[in-house]
């Protein structure tokens, strides 16, 4: 199994490539834990429920037209938008899967660092349209 150091992840937000601004990215994919204990069980019983996902991203901020701020600012309050992340900024493959979903951006802080710090946009995109996160290899 190949091991990599994450140095060149790909991030598409609403078809805009923000890869060159990504400083940190993580995806959380989970299933709700639904308690299903019934009479006769000697302990708690559980089943997997609805799937959910979220993506935490830290980007170097850029206020230029078509860059980070121009892409993210109008997405707050939008119905949903497409997002795709890959470990490496190359084509989809079995060793470079794309994680694809429709998300919402509940909040956005365009400015918020201390003096002398790199201007960053820290965002959390959450699943929005009732479908699960997809893992695509082609």
Residues ≥6 apart with Cβ < 8 Å to 137: 92, 93, 94, 96, 97, 98
Strand, helix or coil at 75? Answer: helix
Asked if the structure places residue 41 within a domain, the reply is: no
In a domain, 44, yes or no: no
| Residue 3 domain-assigned (yes or no) | no
Question: Is the sign of the CA dihedral 98, 104, 110, 111 positive or negative?
Answer: negative
**pLDDT tens figures, 62-111:** 999 999 999 999 999 998 999 999 999 999 999 999 999 999 999 999 99
Mean pLDDT taken over the chain = 96
pLDDT above 60: residue 41: yes
Q: For residue 38, tell me if it sits in a domain.
A: no
Neighbours of 27 (CB within 10 A): 15
For the full predicted model, state whether its pTM sits above 0.85.
yes
Q: Residue 64 is part of which domain span?
A: 11-31+50-136
| Domain at 54, CATH number | 2.40.30
| Overall domain count for the chain | 1
Report if residue 122 sits inside a domain.
yes
Whether residue 118 has pLDDT greater than 70: yes
């Amino acid at each position: 199994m190949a091991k990599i150091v994450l140095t060149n992840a790909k991030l598409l937000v609403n078809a805009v490539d923000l890869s060159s601004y990504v400083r940190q990215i993580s995806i959380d994919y989970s299933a709700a834990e639904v308690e299903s204990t019934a009479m006769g069980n000697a302990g708690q019983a559980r089943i997997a429920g609805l799937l959910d996902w979220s993506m935490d991203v830290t980007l170097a901020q850029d206020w230029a037209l078509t860059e980070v701020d121009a892409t993210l600012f109008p997405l707050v309050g939008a119905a949903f938008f497409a997002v795709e992340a890959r470990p490496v900024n190359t084509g989809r493959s079995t060793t470079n899967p794309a994680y694809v979903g429709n998300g919402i951006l509940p909040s956005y802080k365009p400015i918020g660092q201390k003096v002398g710090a790199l201007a960053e946009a820290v965002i959390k995109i959450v699943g929005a349209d009732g479908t699960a996160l997809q893992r695509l290899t082609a």
